[in-house]
Amino acid sequence: MIAISRSGLRESDMEGAFKELGMGFNPADFSWLRQMMRGHISQGDMQQWDFSHQSLRRAIRKEMPEELERLNNGIVEYFLSIILHDDFAVREIMHHLCIANRPDIAAEVLAAYGYDHHTILERGLADIYTEHREGPAFLLEIPKNAKNVEETERWHIMATINGCLPLLPENTRPFRIELMLASLAILEKQEDVDTRYIKASSEYSLANLYTETGQIKEAEEYYRKFLDGMARLYEQTGTLDALNGLIISHDKMGDNKHALGLYDEAHAHRMKALELFEQYVKLDPSAQEDDPYYRDKAMHSEAEG
C-alpha cells in the first residue's frame, strides 16, 4: 500500500484503508515488517512511513498494478472520510485521485474544502502536474467534471485552480491558459457575489497570461471583462476590495491600450485609475496618497497628455 502513495502513509491510514476494503490490519505485523526492512523504510514529516529508496516503490508498482489500484481506492475512501480535519489527507488526496482517474471527486473535494484548505490543495494540484505523466490531462478534466457540484459552490474550484498557477513550472503558460479557459467555463451562468469576485480575478489572471505570451489582443478581451466585472461589483457592494480591483483594472487596461498603440485610450484609463485611487484614499485614510506606484503612473499620464 505504501508503494501507491506519494510520500508514504501513516499507520492509521493503512488501518483505515484496509477497513474500507474489508481487510484486517495487524499493527504487530506491520511492526515486524518494518524491522525486517530496516534501512528501507523511514518516517516522514507527518509520521508517515515511506520507502527510503524510490527503486523499491517502482519495482512494486511494476509487478502489482491491479492490486495497487484496488488498494488506492481504499486510500481514497479513507481519506475522504477524514479530510475535513486532517491536513495529511488534504495534502495527499489529489495524488490518489489522479491515480484513480476520478476528476469528478477532485472537483467535489475542491468545492467542499477549497476555502479552508486552499493552500494545501493548490500545492496538491501543482504536484499532480509535475509528478504524474497524465497530470496535465487530469487537471483539465477537473472543471469539466464539476456537474455534481452545486453551481453556487463552483467558484471554489476556480479559486483553487487560479491559486495553483504560480506553483506550476515556468514554461507552462500555454497550459495555464487552457486550464483557466476550461475553469472559467463552469462559472458562466452564475451571478452571486462570491462567484463574480472569483470570476473577475480569474479573468485578470488569464489576461496577464495572454500578456506574458505576447497575445495582446486576447489580453485586451480579458482585461475588459475584468474591468466590467469589477465595475459591477463595486456598484453592487461598494467595498474597498471592489474599488481596489476597479483601480487595477483601469490601470492594466491603460498598459494594454498603450501596447496596442492606442495612446489616447491608454491615457484615459490611467487617469481614471488615478481618480479612483484618490477616491480610495478618502475612504481609507491609511492608504498612501503619495504611493510611488501611482505617482509614477501620474507622471507618465501627464507626459502622455
Give me the mean pLDDT over the 264-291 stretch.
86
53 C-beta neighbours (distance < 10 Å), count: 13
Nearest-angstrom CA–CA distance, 195 and 140: 20
Q: Which residues contact 203 (CB under 8 A, 6 or more apart)?
A: 184, 222, 225, 226, 229
Mean pLDDT of the chain: 90
Residue type at position 216: I
Most confident of 66-70, 275-279, 296-300: 275-279
First to last CA, the chain: 68
Highest mean pLDDT: which of 66-70, 203-207, 283-287? Answer: 203-207
Q: Coil, helix or strand for 92? A: helix
Of the given ranges (54-63, 75-84, 155-164, 278-287), which has the lowest mean pLDDT?
54-63
Helix axes 103-113, 87-100, angle to 10 degrees: 160
Distance CA 67, CA 36 (A): 22
Cell of 191: 451571478
Q: What ranges make up the beta strands (E) of the chain?
A: 41-43, 49-51
C-alpha neighbours within 13 Å on the C-beta side of residue 58:
3
Share of the chain above pLDDT 70, in %: 93
pTM: 0.88
Query: pLDDT digit string (tens) for 146-175?
Result: 999 999 999 999 999 999 999 999 999 999
Domain locations in the chain as residue ranges: 224-305
Q: Grid cell 480579458 — which residue? A: 222
Q: What pLDDT score does 26 carry?
A: 83
